[in-house]
A and B are shown apart, each in its own frame.
Chain A
Amino acid sequence: MDKKMMKQSQEVIEELLKREGMSRRDALKLMGLGGAATMMGAAPSSARAATEAMASSDKKAKIVIVGGGAGGIMAAARMRKAAPNAEIVLIAPNDIHLYQPGQVFMAAGLYTEDDIRKPNADLMPEGVKWIKDEVKTFDPDNNSVETANNGKVGYDFLIVATGLQYDYERIKGMSRDLVGQKGIASVYLNDPVKGTAKGGVATWEWFKQIRAAAEKRDPGNPLQIICTQPSTPIKCGGAPQKILYLCDDMLRGNSPLGGKDIHDNAHLTFTKKGKKLFGIKSYNQTLLKLTVDYGNIEDAFGYDLVEIDPDKKMATYDYHYLEKGEWDEDLEEFEVIPMVKKVKMKYDFIHIVPPMKGVDAVANSPIGWQKGTAKGWMAADRYTLQHIKYKNVFGIGDILGIPLGKTGGSARHHGPILQENLVAVMEGKEPTAKFDGYTVCPLKTEYGKIMLAEFNYDGPAPSFPLDPSQPRWIWWAFDLYMLKPMYWNLMMRGLM
């Protein structure tokens, strides 16, 4: 860790003590770091002991991992230690590893693209064979995968860590090339193979353009800004709203661009098909109140973006609503008939979050769900992360076809579950470790504040003894200064 980082971390702690009135010991405990040693990039001693005590197997076997992102690297690091006699092969095309959560800070003008890139070779654990290639098809009936350039690769055990893919094209008239042009931004856009995060760059430019345009408007003729969320599952479900709030706060003059408060010169519309800002009541209430406090944000529920005309700056939505049907005796209420109609919305600037889906190789093979709400995502057990049919196949990260959990924080929680269960199966036992649905969303509600929304299958699941529905400065500081080094130095080494 460099000097700058050290200094920033120290400032974070000092400020934390001041603002929350805590002892230094509590503050460190709170951050789950366990001591100053962590500040140097070493693992907290307790975490290291726990890792060593974890399940391991000395069986000879060939483990193939597909994907070299957050999940793939963590799985490789963990299994390298847990299965010392196994041959471990990782198949991934990307030379560069992107710290994707940092794309939001890029959009906010606080990180650059270089801040979130690292050569994948630096992260690859020693003793893991890396095949720089892409898997075209999975053939789990014959325990093998077909690669683009290296033919078939066989395995005894398979870990699927391919992440998901963006589906910009599902929106008629939209393509990834439009991001950064004609008032269109999309923080998500990145290319894992090229190692670029164009979405972060383009969204910061978009912020600047919006500020310049809003300066020429007035509250009677406000700039029209739309932020969308698709109806599909998405990674980091809070990011569409992060951009919404950060953009508005930028107009209030709180971004690195500074300036006067001109947010009344703009009107922001947040569109999504669902009917809630957040699936959990306490978090939802905080966000609803927040939109009211901003004063210029309108939530449009039931709206699913289906078409865009970039030249006319016109967005077309499927608007979903319920029409009253016949009286239902059992429910003692009228039944409802779901209806859809097309609605157009004019905009000056639009932030588009693409629909997302499982990667083709998974969706088009028996590895994926063939039916149901999770069609196209990996057919995994929601607790054990084991494939529902192929018992020697496990998944980690965004590709899992389970409710909740498409975040880097979830992948971190998948890690130990996957390790324990895969070791069990290697030893001929049943997998018993259970993933609880842990998902974390550091929802940026303004520059300098985050609501650290942690939840699992049962509901809210705060790690810290503080009201989780309250946006706080400490989480912002933690996210901005500490999470990235922790990601590179601890998570990617399987230490956290």
Chain B
Amino acid sequence: MQLKKIAGVLAGMSLLAVGASAAELSNAQIYSKYCKKCHGANGEGNPAKKGPALNDKDINELFDALMNLKEKGFEASKHEAMTHNMEVLERKKGIHVDPQSMAKYLFYSFNPEAK
């Protein structure tokens, strides 16, 4: 009985821990853990995974693309594969990508034209 209870508490704690760490991941952490393999260490793209380059896009374009692939407005996603990837990341890993801050991170980290 006692053991069962402790196990329950432990399970609860680990659940909490997963939730908390997912919520606290910075965009840099999200990128290197969940985006890099398909989009390249410097956003240069990865043909092997069909991931397009992100480092040649203006911050406004990145924001528009991220909003579009999450179908935040009324128009359909133009990136159906990526929309699916994002859903999987949300569902399985508890990752929530914020289009505004992620666009900023991608642009200032990778685009050579960023000041």
Q: Name the A residues within 8 Å of B34 (CB-CB).
A: 330
Partner of A231, one of B65, B75, B88: B75
A401, B70: Cβ atoms under 8 Å?
no
Q: Name the A residues within 8 Å of B88 (CB-CB).
A: 331, 333
Asked if B58 CB lies within 8 Å of chain A CBs, one says yes
Q: Name the A residues within 8 Å of B80 (CB-CB).
A: 320, 322, 336, 338
Q: How far is the CA of A234 from the CA of B85 in the complex (A)?
A: 26
* Per-residue A-contact encoding for B71-109, CB less than 8 Å = 1, 0 else: 111111110110111001100100000011000000000
A279, B72: Cβ atoms under 8 Å?
yes
A279, B60: Cβ atoms under 8 Å?
no
Asked if B68 CB lies within 8 Å of chain A CBs, one says yes
Q: Given A231-B75, A322-B84, A372-B61, are A333 and B67 neighbors across the interface (CB < 8 Å)?
A: no
Q: Given A336-B81, A337-B81, A403-B68, are A382 and B60 neighbors across the interface (CB < 8 Å)?
A: yes
* Per-residue A-contact encoding for B22-36, CB less than 8 Å = 1, 0 else: 000000000000100
A276, B64: Cβ atoms under 8 Å?
no
- State how many angstroms separate the Cβ of A281 from the closest Cβ of chain B: 11
Q: Given A229-B74, A233-B74, A237-B73, are A372 and B57 neighbors across the interface (CB < 8 Å)?
A: yes
Q: Name the A residues within 8 Å of B89 (CB-CB).
A: 331
Partner of A279, one of B58, B71, B85, B92: B71
Q: Name the A residues within 8 Å of B71 (CB-CB).
A: 274-276, 279
Q: How far is the CA of A68 from the CA of B72 in the complex (A)?
A: 29
A380, B60: Cβ atoms under 8 Å?
yes
- State how many angstroms separate the Cβ of A329 from the closest Cβ of chain B: 9
Asked if A31 CB lies within 8 Å of chain B CBs, one says no
Query: Which residue in chain A gives the minimum CB-CB distance to B37?
Result: A330
Q: How far is the CA of A280 from the CA of B73 in the complex (A)?
A: 8
A382, B63: Cβ atoms under 8 Å?
yes
Q: How far is the CA of A4 from the CA of B71 in the complex (A)?
A: 42
- State how many angstroms separate the Cβ of A314 from the closest Cβ of chain B: 23
- State how many angstroms separate the Cβ of B99 from the closest Cβ of chain A: 7
Q: How far is the CA of A371 from the CA of B74 in the complex (A)?
A: 20
Q: Name the A residues within 8 Å of B84 (CB-CB).
A: 322, 336
| Interface positions of A from 4 to 50, Cβ below 8 Å from B | none
Q: Name the B residues within 8 Å of A232 (CB-CB).
A: 75
Q: How far is the CA of A457 from the CA of B98 in the complex (A)?
A: 10
Query: Which residue in chain B gives the minimum CB-CB distance to A381?
Result: B60
B76, A402: Cβ atoms under 8 Å?
no
Asked if A332 CB lies within 8 Å of chain B CBs, one says yes
Q: How far is the CA of A320 from the CA of B81 in the complex (A)?
A: 11
Interface size of A in residues (CB-CB distance below 8 Å):
43
A237, B67: Cβ atoms under 8 Å?
no
Q: Name the A residues within 8 Å of B83 (CB-CB).
A: 275
A272, B67: Cβ atoms under 8 Å?
no
B60, A274: Cβ atoms under 8 Å?
no
Q: Name the B residues within 8 Å of A279 (CB-CB).
A: 70-74
Q: How far is the CA of A322 from the CA of B67 in the complex (A)?
A: 20
- State how many angstroms separate the Cβ of A244 from the closest Cβ of chain B: 14
B100, A373: Cβ atoms under 8 Å?
no
Asked if A213 CB lies within 8 Å of chain B CBs, one says no
Query: Which residue in chain B gives the minimum CB-CB distance to A238?
Result: B74
B67, A404: Cβ atoms under 8 Å?
yes
Q: Given A322-B84, A388-B58, are A457 and B100 neighbors across the interface (CB < 8 Å)?
A: yes
Q: How far is the CA of A332 from the CA of B89 in the complex (A)?
A: 10
Q: Given A274-B75, A373-B78, A403-B67, are A457 and B60 neighbors across the interface (CB < 8 Å)?
A: no
Max chain A Cβ within 10 angstroms of own Cβ: one of B63, B68, B76, B100: B76
Q: Given A331-B88, A333-B92, A403-B67, are A273 and B60 neighbors across the interface (CB < 8 Å)?
A: no
Q: How far is the CA of A182 from the CA of B83 in the complex (A)?
A: 38
Q: How far is the CA of A390 from the CA of B101 in the complex (A)?
A: 25
- State how many angstroms separate the Cβ of A439 from the closest Cβ of chain B: 8
Q: Name the A residues within 8 Å of B72 (CB-CB).
A: 279-280, 403-404
A233, B73: Cβ atoms under 8 Å?
yes
Q: Given A336-B81, A382-B60, A457-B99, are A231 and B76 neighbors across the interface (CB < 8 Å)?
A: yes
Asked if A264 CB lies within 8 Å of chain B CBs, one says no
- State how many angstroms separate the Cβ of A160 from the closest Cβ of chain B: 15
- State how many angstroms separate the Cβ of B104 from the closest Cβ of chain A: 11
| Interface positions of A from 331 to 353, Cβ below 8 Å from B | 331-333, 335-338
Q: Name the B residues within 8 Å of A330 (CB-CB).
A: 34, 37-38
Q: How far is the CA of A367 from the CA of B60 in the complex (A)?
A: 14
- State how many angstroms separate the Cβ of A431 from the closest Cβ of chain B: 14
Q: Given A276-B71, A373-B68, are A402 and B60 neighbors across the interface (CB < 8 Å)?
A: yes
Max chain B Cβ within 10 angstroms of own Cβ: one of A381, A382, A458: A382
Query: Which residue in chain A gives the minimum CB-CB distance to B92?
Result: A332
- State how many angstroms separate the Cβ of B19 from the closest Cβ of chain A: 18
B81, A331: Cβ atoms under 8 Å?
no
Q: How far is the CA of A12 from the CA of B73 in the complex (A)?
A: 31
Q: 3 smallest A-B Cβ distances: which pairs? A: A237-B74, A273-B76, A274-B76
Name 29 interchain pairs, CB-CB below 8 A, sorted by A: A233-B73, A233-B75, A237-B75, A272-B76, A274-B74, A274-B76, A276-B71, A330-B38, A331-B92, A332-B92, A333-B92, A336-B84, A369-B61, A372-B57, A372-B65, A379-B60, A380-B60, A381-B60, A382-B60, A401-B64, A402-B64, A403-B67, A403-B68, A404-B67, A404-B72, A404-B73, A439-B73, A457-B67, A458-B100
The residues of A with any CB-CB pair to B shorter than 8 Å are 229, 231-234, 237-238, 272-276, 278-280, 304, 320, 322, 330-333, 335-338, 369, 371-374, 379-382, 388, 401-404, 439, 457-458
6 extra interchain contacts, Cβ-Cβ under 8 A, other than A331-B85, A379-B60, A404-B67?
A: A237-B74, A279-B73, A332-B92, A336-B84, A402-B64, A403-B73
